């Protein structure tokens, strides 16, 4: 399946690309994060900017959910294996490390991470998100507890 969205990272402002690298990719790779270990709570994520969240537990179901997405608002669809918050942060890390993001509207970001793997070698979607850039920052702050003032 091909993305209908512009996934050119250079469509995102350089300052935001720097944020993505520094606060997600680099912090994850250098183990400078403390990912929220709580059980995944859809309502907590939806409370950040009113994101529509779909947490998919079977990889084979991902394409169906992504293909049915029609919303103009903020949404997050991701495949989880293991702990939800940790897996979500890793999905974002993978997306931004591989340049699977872009923007079709000022102040917004679209992330569409596809991965070729498994026994059959088929490419499958693991994350689709369309968020305001400010909402993504709030979400990252929620997932990475090392940035919390209470930590």
Beta-strand ranges (E) seen in the chain are: 52-56, 75-79, 101-102, 108-116, 123-132
Report domain extents, the chain. 9-146
**pLDDT single digits (tens) 42-93:** 899 999 988 989 888 888 888 888 888 777 789 999 988 877 888 899 999 9
Measured in whole angstroms, how far is the alpha carbon of residue 39 from the centre of its chain?
17
**With DSSP H G I counted as helix, E B as strand and the rest as coil, what are the percentages for the chain, rounded to 5?**
40, 20, 40
Rounded Cα–Cα distance for residues 108 and 111 (Å): 10
Give the DSSP H or E segment for 123.
strand 123-132
pLDDT of residue 99: 92
Lowest mean pLDDT among 38-42, 50-54, 118-122: 118-122
Evaluate whether 133 touches 16 at the Cβ level (below 8 Å). yes
Specify whether the backbone of 67 is left (phi greater than 0), alpha (psi in -120 to 50) or beta: alpha
pTM above 0.75, yes or no: yes
Radius of gyration of the chain (CA): 15
Please give the share of the chain, as a percent, with pLDDT higher than 70.
91
Mean pLDDT to the nearest integer, 3-17: 82
């Amino acid at each position: 399946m091909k993305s209908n969205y512009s996934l050119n990272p250079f469509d995102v402002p350089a300052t935001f690309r720097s944020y993505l690298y520094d606060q997600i990719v680099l912090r994850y790779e250098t183990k400078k994060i403390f990912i929220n270990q709580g059980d995944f709570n859809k309502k907590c994520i939806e409370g950040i900017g009113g994101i529509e969240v779909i947490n998919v537990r079977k990889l084979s179901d991902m394409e169906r959910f992504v293909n049915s997405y029609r919303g103009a608002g903020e949404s997050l669809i991701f495949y989880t294996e293991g702990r939800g918050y940790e897996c979500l942060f890793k999905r974002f890390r993978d997306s931004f490390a591989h340049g699977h993001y872009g923007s079709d509207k000022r102040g917004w970001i679209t992330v569409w991470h596809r991965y070729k793997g498994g026994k059959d070698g088929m490419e499958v979607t693991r994350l689709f998100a369309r968020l305001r850039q400010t909402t993504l920052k709030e979400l990252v702050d929620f997932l990475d507890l090392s940035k919390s003032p209470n930590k």
